[in-house]
A and B are shown apart, each in its own frame.
Chain A
Amino acid sequence: MSELAFWSVAFVTVASAGMVVFSGQLIYSAIALLFTLLGVAGLYIFLWADFMAGVQVMVYIGGILVLIIFGIMLTHKIVSVKISQSNVQRKLGAVVVGIFLIFLTSSIGDAPWFQMVTTEPSETVRTVGRLLMTKYLLPFEVASILLLGSLIGAAMLSRKEE
């Protein structure tokens, strides 16, 4: 049962990721991205990372994807130019992707993998929070300064000239 669920989630993720790339219309790509991000959240749940799955849905679907669709809506149909997505340099792209695929499969085969934990961890959020405040405090703070910088930058760029 759980294997079936895993394969269906994996299939949805990969198939919709394919749609993101191959769909001709930008808005369909964005909608397909919804299912890709959802599938990735599902994969997090299979790894017992429930908090990460929640963050994935909240940040990527609730924030970034909405912004992407917002951007498409603001430009498409208001500007008279039809915005479509086109893939150029297919052959060259296929070669690069093929090389990357060989590289990935060989490294996946060689890597020493952790075994999947089969029992549910009792506390995930608490552990994550504790680690962020102790062991990974410096990266956490650096990331927050980076985010603050980008926030101020965005506000600077979008404000009107006086």
Chain B
Amino acid sequence: MSVDLLYDWLNESIPFLSGNSLLLLLAIVIPAILLFLVIAVNAIVLVYAERKVSAFMQDRVGPMGQGVGLHAGKWGMLQTVADALKLISKEDIIPRLADRKLFIMAPFVIFVGAFIAVIALPFGETLIVADMNIGIFYILAVSSFGVIGLILAGWSSNNKWSLYGGMRSAAQIISYEIPAGLSLVTVIMLTGTLSMQGIIQYQSGGLFDWIVFSSPFSFIAFIIYFIAAIAETNRTPFDIPEAESELVGGFHTEYSGMRWSFFFLSEYANMLVVNGVAVAAFLGGWQSPIPGYLNSPGWGVFWFISKILVLVFVMMWVRWTFPRLRVDQLMDICWKYLLPIALFNIFGVGIWTLIFG
């Protein structure tokens, strides 16, 4: 529900306060709280999914929760809830030689970056907090907050591993933003709009009107975007900022308890954002794959979320399949392969729209 719609609704339903700026404040605060809940639930579900997926891929069973008394529920479904409770009650340690102010600030900068990007995600036809004119560009722009937060976390910890992790992640995310942005340019060229809802409206009419299938170039663009998205969320095979075997934990080595869990909330929120952008830009957003079938607003939310979850599953699949890249290989893939292909792609889409458009 967008802020404007909510404001109008509040104005009608609470007549004695109508026109009051208090209602506008409410219309801003309510979606913010809802989004926070979405992010928290998203992290809990995805962490559980990650553990189960990795377990099944390695021929294990993962968290199972057996025995009597307090246990983690059937199939270990409460495992991440228990983990969250543990993290909340854990001691908060700040190293003595750390830069205290920046150390405290860094997780929040990262979290804010992830949070304000979710604002522009279209969960349904009307279910979007803010449908901005520059929606997709806005999401690309605010993702730079995450980089600053990562560098700050790495720097302020006063730890060599953290510093290396922060620097690696900055180099990586800045580099991979370029192919991600260029592959989204092809989408913008086809749709002629930057608004998320506008891009989704362009793809109405079933599976073969989705941008990913509309031309060979946009299919390549989708692949490039997805690879860059994995790199931007710092996941294996692009997880050199964390690289457990080299850097202990990378930028979050010194963090513990609640502050550490903020990194993970925002990491999973970032997965939601990049996959949400992929779904909205290439896979038809909240539209049903079969035109006119199961296309009501409620089903829209279902389609959007299930498409995201499919992409998240692919990300997890990739994570537990491929080994980590070296730093130089990582940069090679970005600058020598993805970037030229993405540039060629823009040219190709231009020709394609000239001929068929």
Contacts and interface: CB of A to CB of B under 8 A. Distances in A.
B32 to A, nearest CB: 15
Nearest to B99: A27
A80 B142 CA distance: 34
Given A50-B134, A123-B133, A65 B174 contact: no
Nearest to A41: B141
Given A1-B24, A73-B166, A66 B148 contact: yes
A58 B144 contact: yes
Given A57-B144, A62-B144, A73 B133 contact: no
B148 A27 contact: no
Nearest to A78: B163
Interface of A is mostly: helix
Contacts of A28: 101
A162 to B, nearest CB: 18
A70 B170 contact: yes
Interface in A70-129: 70, 72-74, 77, 123-125
Interface residues of B, number: 32
Interface string A45-58: 00000110011011
Contacts of A27: 99, 102, 155
Interface of B is mostly: helix
Interface string B105-141: 1000000000000000000000000001110011011
Contacts, number: 74
A27 B153 CA distance: 13
A24 interface: no
B141 A57 contact: yes
What is the interface residue range for chain A against chain B?
Answer: 20 to 34
B144 A1 contact: no
B247 to A, nearest CB: 15
A31 B147 contact: no
Contact of A69 (B25, B134, B137, B151): B151
Contacts of B170: 66, 69-70
B133 A125 contact: yes
B133 A50 contact: yes
A51 B144 contact: no
Nearest to A123: B133
A12 interface: no
Nearest to A60: B144
Interface of B: 21, 24-25, 99, 101-102, 105, 132-134, 137-138, 140-145, 147-148, 151-152, 154-155, 158, 163, 166-167, 170, 174, 177, 194
Given A31-B152, A57-B142, A58-B141, 10 more contacts: A1-B21, A27-B155, A50-B132, A66-B144, A66-B148, A70-B167, A73-B151, A73-B166, A73-B167, A77-B155
23 contacts: A27-B99, A34-B148, A51-B134, A54-B137, A54-B138, A57-B142, A57-B144, A58-B137, A58-B141, A62-B143, A62-B174, A62-B177, A63-B174, A66-B144, A66-B174, A69-B148, A69-B151, A73-B151, A73-B166, A74-B167, A124-B133, A125-B134, A125-B194
